[in-house]
Chain A
């Protein structure tokens, strides 16, 4: 299993979740398991946006909810 920490920023205090996923899963899979719609967020690793179809690596990622209105 791969251990990942999700730091979710959505407009209030950050929510931190520790998760374990099977090897071979993507970040999109991870978000779906966490109940987060991948179309509404940006995934950052060390501050760098990463593609959601990358395979999950151990460590911490930040999930930031995108706003789009004007």
Chain B
């Protein structure tokens, strides 16, 4: 008996059925995809970033060069970048919660009604960042300025390295790693003009370099923001001109026992338990002694209107 075998012919009338499509088996219940029991830990933003990056590191550090295939390394790269964005959000949120100057800057800004209704008080500042993205150094620095009113002084090389990585990120998110014309222009046409639509191929060593660079950039932002935030609490130069010239109030009593509580608030926003930051007291002494030296240098000890140092 002859065996009946199917042929390749189709008889469907659907002229759009150019490829086969599997039906939705189950609809996505996004509300079930998030961990409801998770509670925001009180680790500092930088420690959270380090923890996230370390977890990603462990996914591939022990693999061989061949095992880290380009698709895998591109996904990992996006993971590292996501950790950076998450860090910026957490830092700005902490600043608005704990730093009076950042709070004052943010309080006049608007958020959506939904966010106001459902966010807890601690997480409310997150809503301020709904409309902000962190995909270039300019974006990041502008967000700090608009939400906390601090100028984060970053050096040119950190800015350049971050911006290069931002372009690579764009290629991975939107073009499955291929280089777009706009990205090539930002990266430099003289060296990238022949690479249009060529895919990003990150080796294990490249990934080590990128994750290391992002880590250094984030730590640079952390230290620069820490400096700017502290500088604002201890103004050494007068503001305004002529009759309006005045010295802003210094938040510090310049006695560690009296300032301990307030300083600890600032310290905890930026310190890393993971990497054993110097103790709060040491950082306080470094800060106060530098500012006092500056005061002496600027005013030669004749700073008018300044409150005498408490004994």
Q: Do A and B come from one complex?
A: no
Chain A positions near chain B (C-beta within 8 angstroms): none
Interface residues of B (CB under 8 A from A): none
